[in-house]
Structure 1
Amino acid sequence: MIRFGYKASAEQFAPAELLKYGVLAEELGFDSVFTSDHLQPWRHDDGHAPAALPWLGALAARTERVLIGTSVLTPTFRYHPAVVAQAFATLGLLAPGRVVLGVGSGESLNEVPLGIPWPDGKERFARLKEAVLLIQKLWREDRVTSEGQFYKVENATIYDKPETPVPIYIGASGPAATRLAGRISDGFITTSGKGAELYTETLLPAVREGAEKAGRQIDDLDLLIEVKVSFDDDLQQARENTRYWGALALTPDEKTGVEDPIEMQRLSDALPVERTETRWICSSDPEEHATRIAEYLDMGFKHLVFHAPGPDQERFLRLYSEQILPRLRERSA
């Protein structure tokens, strides 16, 4: 099944406004609504960081059909994995069959301000793996005692949980975490705009390798990619809209160790639009736009979640539902 979703940008919009867009996405025919979970936004001025868990509960109550979830939440520092297990089990009961727990290894911007020492990538990966396995165990068993390297539970029970566990998707941009997604998760999450070779030669083969090591096939997983798109009748406006999200165009070296939204904003605002637009599919031609997006379907991704950078999200949703989604559904059929 090919699905097309909407990324509700929690970093850009206030909770009530964001909820309105999530509900509208369902009304206009989108298949899913995903949101991120940040303690702090990428920008200090005009930035937002609503908590994902209560927001998803509100979205569940206001919608009937769309799949909803996080892309992504970090279950290893601010949250104990058991708390995440409890919260998403509850969401799974409120919206049966419609909830996804998307997880990742985290970013220092969200954890260091709470006084959490920021470990290296090897430890973050180990924490993520242990957390996912513990969450799955808590959903699978009635009474859990476990003492891992990082997390301990003793006679822990998640009393209220759906009969079918909430699927867990692992977000990753490197081969190790991607192989982990193939081995132990129900889906894989990544983001667009990083060069076709990364997806075709590194990430998707790593998912396949991980799945096969666990006796599964890659088709057993939902392959989700968050596609950065800026579509407008005015091409220059589509390009200018990407300025708000300039942080996405910063190199890892440029943003390593940046834990303050004010500093992240300063670095982002210093970039010209020629840099900020590089992570986005910017277009004013619907046919050309759909053709470029379809490249990800050709790679093998089955679930495309569209993230638009502009301030007028209602306009984006309506333009996309009228001009882009029909073209993509026709191609995918």
Structure 2
Amino acid sequence: MTLRFHWFLPTYGDSRYLVGGGHGTAVTTAGGDRPATIAYLSQIARAAEQLGFEGALTPTGAWCEDAWLTTAMLARESERLKFLVAFRPGLVSPTLAAQMAATFQRHSEGRLLLNVVTGGEDHEQRAYGDHLGKQARYQRTDEFLTVVRALWRGERVSLHGEHVKVDDARLDRVPDPVPDVYFGGSSPAAGRVAARHVDVYLTWGEPPDAVADKIAWIRKEAAEAGRTPPRFGIRLHVISRDTSAQAWAEADRLLAALDPDVIASVQSGLSRSGSEGQARMRALHGGRTGSLEVYPNLWAGVGLVRGGAGTALVGSHVEVAERIEEYAALGISEFVLSGHPHLEEAYWFGEGVLPLLRDRGVWRHPVDAGAEPVRAAIPFAGATP
């Protein structure tokens, strides 16, 4: 199994410290020392592309810039990198979403991936004019993806569901290739949607035993739905250094900079989250600032101030590579990673961990046809003075 790696575009701002915001937090708008300009995000995108990341996740929500518009601009600033665009069913019609995806594929030459986010927070959904409850949102996502998938197959679609109603819908031009659909969720309703519709099921970074249970659950759901199981991916932060001591010193630096009042405020907001996945993230750290290594090299400190993915792989390049192979042995084939700051951390991981995984035969650079990488010659080496 060849592993795939994706990076992250911080469309809310970046920093050398942990940036709050995200899923279920009380922070309306995140931020950082580096504004999320197209110029800065382009630096991250080009670095990720050069280092061998296949794609980059762009988040969705009131706390960040719009993912569709931002990635459409960044597509002109890159050549190969794919964009894993997060979006929420129900805020646009399925016909329009299918058309947008087809347009993006044509103009980006096939570089769109879609991360479907049902939305776990009632208050944020209502701010966008969506007043459905959580269970109804998952039912709508099921109907939404039924329409989108049919349109992408070139079918003419009429559906009168509980939440989605379209008549005689079709696309003049279908996307080529059809973008992979990524999706995550820990509730029973999420499992049913994943089993029926998605190409990649994503989990946040829990310890391996918990991840193995999720994989088994989704495989069972897919079998009951009469469908081949999806691929599996994991969403993690990463702090990778030449030595383990250097990596943990960086984690300690990030932790020491956190304001206890900010931690308390964020955790208060997250405690009201309706997301089962978010509850699982909170259970890993319990609001404490000590004993945050919840599994070897798995650190729960990020979740103290950030909603959503709250764990990081921390260790030497060798240790991080070993943990990645441990998750891969469970069935995880895609890794969606991030770090603080995202530009520098992409290089730490891309130059430190990816070569180890390449040498172990579990990863190769997307543009590498299998040949040895070209070594840069040293100008005038060996020349006679």
TM class by shorter chain equals 0.7 to 0.9
Q: Which has the higher contact order (CA 8 A, sep 6+)?
A: 2
Structure 1 residue 133: deviation in Å?
0.7
Structure 1 residue 140: deviation in Å?
2.3
Structure 1 residue 52: deviation in Å?
0.6
State the Cα deviation string for residues 280-322 of structure 1 (Å, max 9, x = none): 33535222222223221121111111121x1x32211111111
SS in 1 for 2:323: helix
Partner of 2:47: 24
Structure 1 residue 198: deviation in Å?
2.4
Is the alpha carbon distance of 1:148 and 1:204 closer, same or farther for their aligned partners in structure 2, counting shifts above 3 Å? same
Contact 1:137 1:144 in 2 (8 A): yes
Partner of 2:29: none
Give the 5 Å matches for 1:67-82: 67-70=82-85, 72-76=86-90, 78-82=91-95
Q: Partners of 2:71 and 2:263 in 1: how far apart?
A: 26
Residue 316 (structure 2) pairs with residue 290 (structure 1): no
Residue 193 (structure 2) pairs with residue 170 (structure 1): no
Partner of 2:312: 281
Residue 151 (structure 2) pairs with residue 138 (structure 1): yes
Q: Partners of 1:19 and 1:255 in 2: how far apart?
A: 35
Q: Partners of 1:296 and 1:282 in 2: how far apart?
A: 11
State the Cα deviation string for residues 29-88 of structure 1 (Å, max 9, x = none): 2122121122x12xxxxxxx1111112212322223233212x32112x22222221211
CA RMSD after TM alignment = 3.0
Q: Partners of 1:33 and 1:90 in 2: how far apart?
A: 19
State the one-letter code of the partner of 1:254. S
State the one-letter code of the partner of 1:316. E
Partner of 1:157: 170
Q: Partners of 2:321 and 2:269 in 1: how far apart?
A: 29
Residue 216 (structure 2) pairs with residue 199 (structure 1): no
Give the count of matched residue pairs. 305
Q: Out of 195, 213, 237, which is 2:224 matched to?
A: 213
Q: Partners of 1:303 and 1:110 in 2: how far apart?
A: 29
SS in 2 for 1:105: coil
Q: Partners of 1:110 and 1:326 in 2: how far apart?
A: 41
Identity %: 25
Is the alpha carbon distance of 1:29 and 1:296 closer, same or farther for their aligned partners in structure 2, counting shifts above 3 Å? same
Residue 102 (structure 2) pairs with residue 101 (structure 1): no
Contact 1:230 1:282 in 2 (8 A): yes
The gaps in structure 1 that reach 5 residues or longer are 42-48, 259-269
Partner of 1:223: 232
Q: Partners of 1:82 and 1:61 in 2: how far apart?
A: 25
Structure 1 residue 251: deviation in Å?
8.5
Q: Partners of 2:253 and 2:263 in 1: how far apart?
A: 10
State the one-letter code of the partner of 1:285. S
Partner of 1:188: 201
SS in 1 for 2:191: helix
Structure 1 residue 329: deviation in Å?
3.0
Contact 1:235 1:282 in 2 (8 A): no
Question: Hey, which of these two has a bigger chunk of helix by percent?
Answer: 1
Contact 2:113 2:180 in 1 (8 A): yes
Contact 1:179 1:208 in 2 (8 A): no
Partner of 1:266: none
Q: Out of 62, 84, 90, which is 2:97 matched to?
A: 84
Is the alpha carbon distance of 1:228 and 1:314 closer, same or farther for their aligned partners in structure 2, counting shifts above 3 Å? closer
SS in 1 for 2:115: strand
Partner of 1:62: 77
State the one-letter code of the partner of 2:325. A
Structure 1 residue 234: deviation in Å?
5.1
Residue 238 (structure 2) pairs with residue 238 (structure 1): no
Q: Partners of 2:186 and 2:274 in 1: how far apart?
A: 18
Q: Out of 251, 256, 268, which is 2:273 matched to?
A: 256
Structure 1 residue 102: deviation in Å?
1.5
Contact 2:11 2:59 in 1 (8 A): yes
Partner of 2:127: 113
